[in-house]
Amino acid sequence: MKTASFEEKNIWVIVGPTAVGKSELAVRLAKKLNGEVISADSRQVYKGLDIGTGKITKKEMRGIPHHFLDVADPKKRFSAADFVRLGSEKIAAIFSRNHIPIICGGTGFYISALLGEISLPPAPPNPKLRAKLEKKTTSELFTMLKKLAPTRAAKIDRYNPRRLIRAIEVAKSSRNSVEIRYPSILWVSDFHNRSRIVKIGLTLPPKKLKEKIRTRLLTRIRHGMIAEAEKLHRQGLSWKRMEELGLEYRYLARHLRDEISKNEMIKKLQTEIWHYAKRQMTWFKRDKTIEWFSPNDKTIFETIANIFSL
């Protein structure tokens, strides 16, 4: 069998906020295109973070290969630079099998970095600065970042101290955390400008998305999300690291330490996941090359097929 060249292949990208239904569409598209899915989720890379992150199950994959799930130890940090390095290799490997890469996820920074749309900050770690910043509260860190890099502050998880510290570190080093460029037609720079990017976005009206977030959260809790967090802690994942992992694991850690009740945890998570979804949409809406669809549209796949001549 002839191996397709980059010129003969598109790289597909499916983006959108959490809970909108990206994974299901990615599997359907992969079935149609003989594709493989590259997960672009900053927490699903970690082993054991299954229920809390909404990781796709083997049954839901329907035999489609999925990459970047369960590839890292949650006790260690997997960075955007790691994702770009390994993701570039993965795309090349998928092409070599004459398959189509389908990047699917909600971590916009990872996706933009992999596609060559932003330059990752070159700032090296600054141990002295980090030690100083670690003594500050998340509120103090967020205030600092707003002064140094207001654009970055508007998109960051303001309650995640690790990300706040890194953003401050980068801002202090370069005063310009990322260099963003949006050419009219996007090409992957690491593949010699030869592979066209086809981007699909899924979105829902705010009321419907809020309800999906709530329903999915309650389902995860019924399926053992709290027990999963207890197990992770027994296996050596510290409370501090769970706080750093953010969202579900941050509030699970607080609940398991009896700092908040189960009902308080659910209420907080509904609010924080919704705020996260809004930050995701803020990131993606800047990109005018994305074609947007509603996942509730029963003819969505037919529409996509017509637009992109599948």
Binding-site annotation, residues for substrate: 18-23
Taking alpha carbons only, the member of 229, 198, 204, 221 closest to residue 270 is 221
Q: Distance between alpha carbon 37 and the CA centroid of its chain, in Å?
A: 14
HSE-CB of 28 using CA atoms within 13 angstroms: 14
| Helices assigned H by DSSP within the chain | 22-33, 58-61, 80-96, 108-114, 127-133, 138-148, 150-153, 161-174, 206-222, 225-234, 239-245, 247-256, 262-285, 300-307
Annotated binding site for ATP: 16-23
**Which positions ≥6 away from 290 have C-beta within 8 Å?**
15, 199, 200, 201, 284
CA distance 247 to 270: 10
Number of Cβ atoms within 10 Å of the Cβ of 184: 6
DSSP-derived secondary structure letter, 190: G
CA distance 130 to 173: 13
Residue 212 and residue 274 in contact, taking contact as beta carbons nearer than 8 Å: no
Annotated binding site: 16-23
Number of Cβ atoms within 10 Å of the Cβ of 78: 18
Residue 88 CB burial class (10 angstroms; 0-12, 13-18, ≥19): middle
